Amino acid sequence: MAIDTEKNSYTVIFAVLMVIVVGSLLAFVASGLKPMIDENERFEKQQNILYAMGVNENEGDGDVAFVPTTEVEDEFSKYITQQLVINGSQAEERDNAYLINVEKALASAKSGGEAELPLLIGEKDGEKFYIIPMFGKGLWDAIWGYISVGENMEIKGVYFDHRGETPGLGANIKQRFFMDDFKGESIMDGDTYEGVEVAKGNNDPLNNDKEDNQVDALAGATITGNGVTAMIKESLKLYKPYLQTIRSN
């Protein structure tokens, strides 16, 4: 079989065929798997939200352990009592508000456009949790998470995640030793919504001081840490009008 692979016409035909074959193969795989991927992502969101309000399977000081995917839907409807969409200090109930794209919602609200910020209210053991989604950027790519506060604006739990922070350094923001430090800190500094700062050298590595609005930074991950600080602050700023109505109640 002698094909002249040097001919220009052959090269062009080969390239065209390759693009068609590979393109349709990828499209076929992607659309075939889409429903399963979407469902996985929905479960993940539910797991993250529940994690932030302390519904998880953590044991001792081991790894992060979510509610299993098989149970997460039931647990989610059990613990999450209200799903709100916030616009300034106005709140409106909406089903599946947790599926709102937080990145777009925050960006739109920040630029003064339409504000449709999701906020979830959960209840566990008679306590109320206000769960605020956050979105920001780390060193390489996006970081996001959920922060849950009680009525007195004390942090009850956080969950952070990232798209591409360095494994072993910035990626550790989703490790328990980092996230657990936030518990008990307040997002208020006196009367202002300061959030919590990821601080280098705050001389409190065990995080015993819960009044300082600081948690200990990760060594080697300064920019990711600053990203977390900024993400909390920026996101809270947009929720402030609504949070104030909770405090004054």
Binding region for another protein (CB under 8 A): 3, 5-6, 10-11, 14-15, 18, 22, 25-26, 29-30, 33, 36-37, 40, 43-44, 63, 69, 163-164, 166-169, 171, 205-206, 219-220
Outline where DSSP puts E strands in the chain: 80-87, 90-93, 117-124, 127-137, 142-149, 155-162, 188-189, 192-193, 197-199, 214-216
| Nearer of residues 149 and 218 to another protein, judged by Cβ | 218
Residue length, the chain?
249
Decide whether 34 or 104 has the Cβ nearer to another protein: 34
H-helix or E-strand spanning residue 73: helix 69-79
Cβ contact 239:117 at 8 Å: yes
Q: Which one, 89 or 175, has the nearer CB to another protein?
A: 175
> Which residue lies nearer to another protein by CB, 1 or 95?
1
- What's the closest the beta carbon of residue 244 comes to another protein, in angstroms? 36
* 40 vs 77, beta carbon nearer another protein: 40
Structure tokens at 79: 């613990």
Min separation Cβ 106 and another protein, Å: 22
Structure tokens at 141: 């790519």
For residue 216, the minimal CB distance to another protein (Å) is: 9
Nearer to another protein, 123 or 204 (CB): 204
* Least distance between another protein and beta carbon 219 (Å): 5
| Two tokens, residue 4 | 């002249």
Tokens describing residue 198: 């990821």
CB of 68 to another protein, least distance (A): 11
Minimum distance, C-beta of residue 227 to another protein, in the bound complex (Å): 16
For 36, 105, 147, the CA distances from 182, given in Å and listed in that order, are 34, 25, 9
Distance from C-alpha of 124 to C-alpha of 105, rounded to nearest angstrom? 27
Residues in CB range of 233: below 8 A, 6 or more apart = 193, 194, 195
